[in-house]
Structure 1
Amino acid sequence: MPQVEIRHIRCFVCVAKHLHFSRAAEELGIAAPSLTRQIQEAERLLGVRLFLRTKRSVALTAAGEAYLAEALAALEHLARGEERAERAERGELGRVEIGYVASAAYAGVLQNTVRGFRREQAGVNVAIREVAMDRITAMLCDGAIDIAYVRPPMDYPEGIQATTVYRDTFVLALPADCALAALDTVTPAQLRDRRFALPEQDYGTFEVARRGRFAPNPGPRPGTLAAVLACVSLGGDVAVVPNTLAQCITLPNVVYRAIAGKPIPSEVAIAWRRHERAPAVRAFLRYARKCAASEDDR
């Protein structure tokens, strides 16, 4: 069954505004006879008369008065819908699912970026959750998360892209009562006989061992960096951890010492789907990269 269309409603509202067909037709950019046909068609579809017309005047009928309020509300609702669609296309509305490995949170880059983006794009719902590093790529590929904060190096599938957003260096976490704790700087070779508690990202540990020309003696692999430090605190184990940890986590019986030689880089990166289409996700990526560039310029 044919129904009143938006074109009919726009014509009706314009005539109701001017109560003059010629002026309404001029505003709408159509010929007066065409406007008359639109109104007649609307009246036929609705089954009521909307206007009382004489050669000298145009007035709304009771049905027209009642219909006008709803017609205006409908057009206002459509205008809001158009605005929201445009905002969504610009990435100002939507949802972004962010996964992060626990160690990335210690650097502060995750918090700073998310808080800043939320201030700029209040219409985007940003959800964050901690995930295990070995699940990151699968969750990105499956769409379970849109963006991941990770600690490279790590292997990415062909469809995943990553960029560094924070740069740090590795330091050594030692039991406070071990002999090496008396030193300000520890050489890699001095760690030859030590047992290492291994974090999720063990690159720093194996790079220290490579520089010291020994194979590391792996101890527990408890997962998060906080759990790694707990192993060190309990005595016996040492750990290679990002320097940011030394600045924000203090545990009994744990001290941090510099590693001699060229600094070993410890980075935080964001990873995402290479052909991401969601405007809100792309907007977050632009913001994150802009923040990273600002940090690099300092």
Structure 2
Amino acid sequence: MEIRHFRYFLAVARQRNFTRAAAQLGIAPPTLSRQIQDMEASLGTRLFIRQQREVSLTEAGAALLIEAEATVRQFEFAQRNAQRAGRGEIGHVELGYVASAVYCGLLQRQMQAFSQAFPDVSVNVRECAMATLPSAVADGRYDIGYIRSPLTLPDGVEAVRLDSEGFVLALAQDSWLLGLKAIGCEHLQNETFILPEQISGTLHVAAQGGFAPRLGPQPGGLVAVVARVSLGQGVAVVPASMVGHVSLPGVVYRSIKGSEAASWLSLIHRRFEKAPAVVRYIQQVKQVAKVEA
């Protein structure tokens, strides 16, 4: 027997009439009658008591009715789920991000929009070291990632450019630089720079100031960077979104006069991504980025 036999059986059981059931199914009554006869022959028992105008279930038919309804429901559920998975409406996404994607609120906005559009797609979100995130996306440990660009990417990984922002200077509250009316790039030539994972801002500020930067430690995430600043180990050029979001005792943020240093967040993904749910996420981010551009 096939699933269609259960559908035919249920139609007759509900309509109690072969003609009405055949009309509901869109087939000829003789065809339906033969299908039910084949079903009864396969089972070795009668399912219906046939009368002139109506049919009624035998004891075997009544027993089959409950199971047939459950079977058809499960089949339709499986069919719908397969179709939805193919459209990217259900599934799973592994997402990695760097901390600044959260500080500026970008990750929250995009995750909320995606969850509203596709509530049955589960997204596992984890903060990652930016140095390892691109390779983790390339080899499949993550499906997508939020990084701070510019950054060299492995072959097969692409980036969608998102929000851009400038940099600010994080310095200790007792720094002599706070005595200046405005801090320019040239004032930083004798400072030790605590390095975040994305060092382009530091290098750009040093280039604008006309000096080679004195490089200090590179402790990892932005909170670790600012923690080193709070301990008096140096200054740090960090994304402007940290102001108001990461506040540590003994740390002050100041703008850098004349600095044109900027970076931007990017969504990175595999170039030939096949998983429908992941493709949906990438498409949504691209659409929003295009509108905001």
**Deviation of 1:202 (Å):** 0.5
Query: Normalized against structure 1, the TM-score is what?
Result: 0.92
Aligned to 2:47: 50
Instruction: Name the stretch that deviates more: 49-58 or 144-153.
Output: 49-58
Aligned to 1:76: 73
The answer to whether the aligner puts 1:202 opposite 2:199 as a matched pair is: yes
1:103–1:224 CA contact under 8 A, matched in 2: no
Distance across 2 between alignment mates of 1:130 and 1:199: 15
The answer to whether the aligner puts 1:177 opposite 2:178 as a matched pair is: no
Sort the Cα spacing of 1:225 and 1:57 in 2 relative to 1 into closer, same or farther, 3 A. closer
Aligned to 1:255: 252
Aligned to 1:266: 263
Unmatched 5+ stretches in structure 2: none
Query: Normalized against structure 2, the TM-score is what?
Result: 0.93
| Aligned residue identity for 2:157 | I
Distance across 1 between alignment mates of 2:249 and 2:15: 80
Q: Of 17, 21, 44, which aligns to 1:20?
A: 17
1:78-117 correspondence to structure 2 within 5 Å: 78-117=75-114
Unmatched 5+ stretches in structure 1: none
Query: Aligned pair count?
Result: 293
The alignment partner of 1:134 has SS state of coil
**Deviation of 1:28 (Å):** 1.9
**Deviation of 1:161 (Å):** 1.1
1:128-277 correspondence to structure 2 within 5 Å: 128-277=125-274
Distance across 1 between alignment mates of 2:47 and 2:233: 89
| Aligned residue identity for 2:115 | R
| Aligned residue identity for 2:70 | A
**Deviation of 1:13 (Å):** 1.1
Instruction: Name the stretch that deviates more: 223-232 or 255-264.
Output: 255-264
Aligned to 1:29: 26
**Cα root mean square deviation, aligned:** 1.8
Distance across 2 between alignment mates of 1:245 and 1:289: 25
Aligned to 2:280: 283
**Deviation of 1:22 (Å):** 2.4
2:159–2:268 CA contact under 8 A, matched in 1: yes
Distance across 2 between alignment mates of 1:172 and 1:132: 22
Instruction: Name the stretch that deviates more: 158-167 or 141-150.
Output: 158-167
The alignment partner of 1:201 has SS state of coil
**Deviation of 1:262 (Å):** 4.7
Equivalent pairs: percent with the same residue? 45
The alignment partner of 1:237 has SS state of coil
Aligned to 1:11: 8
